[in-house]
Amino acid sequence: MDGRAAEAEVNLLYHFCRLRLPAVALPLSSFERHVRRGFGLYQARLRKEGRTPEYRLFLEDLHAVDWFLACACLDGLSRAWEALFASRANRSDCLLVDALRARAVRLFPRDESRQEQAVAEFWGYLLAGERDGSVPILARYDGQRPLVPWLIRVFQNKLLSELRHGHDLVALPDDWTDGDLPMPGNGDERWHREFRAAAHDWLQGLADNELLILGLRLRYRLSQREAAKVLGIHEGNVGRQTDKLSQRCRAEIGQKMHEVGWTGDDLDGLIMKEMDSLLLDEPRLSADRLAALLAARGKGVPLPVGEPGA
């Protein structure tokens, strides 16, 4: 895409967003500046993955209205924040604020003041970096995925990080799910059932050490470094094992899906929607089972969220 075509594409996206969000008066010059910034994030990520970034593909995959709204919030437009507060988290018209509050209730049971505080503080957290001089959290949104699920995940991870402060491990409840995230584009519920069946079969073939990697990264939300410390292995080994699990997951589940007639290309959408809740429902990844696997390695037993001492 040459410079003139790219400029025209960005201009078209801008006016489309203004039509969708007429009350949010983000100037075209600001939108263009943020698009350049977003492409910089996109470039850095793809180059880190050994891939060549293309401006054309960046614009094609851009969730333009979500990106426009996030940029307007970063620029301090009050109407943008009003639109963000009114965003819907799923097809049942659950507000984003309600989805955040529901997660706070799950993580801070019987502590209403802390629940409300967690939600109230989140908006300021988005405009602040994790430390002085760092990039605002909201500025890390790259526009290559829907904004609302990304915000819910950021909120969830923030609270889990706070819960882990002062403790070695904190587990998510066994019935924790991401059921209020949007469904992927393919509306045929049959494929969600087929995906869960294929993923269940894949899980049955995993060894205990692989289950521990999944459990520490998912249920306990540990970083690679934290998981490596718990397991007593090198951080690079955790990264390599995680990558292998991810590749095997996509290859084996994708093969089974195609065997039963799947012709779509949004397998990642199904994984984003279904995998967290499926893994957290898996008995082999329950907090008790993971605690037993850790105990067998001479590690301490983790404390589940919401129980005394957690």
* Mean pLDDT over each residue of the chain, to the nearest integer: 79
Instruction: Give 55-88 pLDDT, tens digit per residue.
Output: 888 888 889 999 999 999 999 999 999 999 888 8
Report percent pLDDT > 90 for the chain: 18
Taking residues 178-194, report their average pLDDT: 51
The string of DSSP letters for the chain reads --HHHHHHHHHHHHHHHHHHSTT----HHHHHHHHHHHHHHHHHHHHHTT----HHHHHHH--HHHHHHHHHHHTT-HHHHHHHHT-B-STT--BHHHHHHHHHHHHSTT-HHHHHHHHHHHHHHHHS-SSTTSPPGGGG--SSS-HHHHHHHHHHHHHHHHHHTTSS-EEPPTT---TTSPPPS---HHHHHHHHHHHHHHHHT--HHHHHHHHHHHTS---HHHHHHHHTS-HHHHHHHHHHHHHHHHHHHHHHHHHTT---S-HHHHHHHHHHHHHHH-GGGSHHHHHHHHHHTTPPPPEETTSTT-
* Predicted structure pTM score: 0.56
Lowest mean pLDDT among 3-17, 18-32, 162-176, 178-192: 178-192
pLDDT of 270 higher than 90: no
Instruction: Give 153-177 pLDDT, tens digit per residue.
Output: 888 888 877 776 644 455 555 444 4
Q: Which residue has the higher pLDDT, 144 or 1?
A: 144
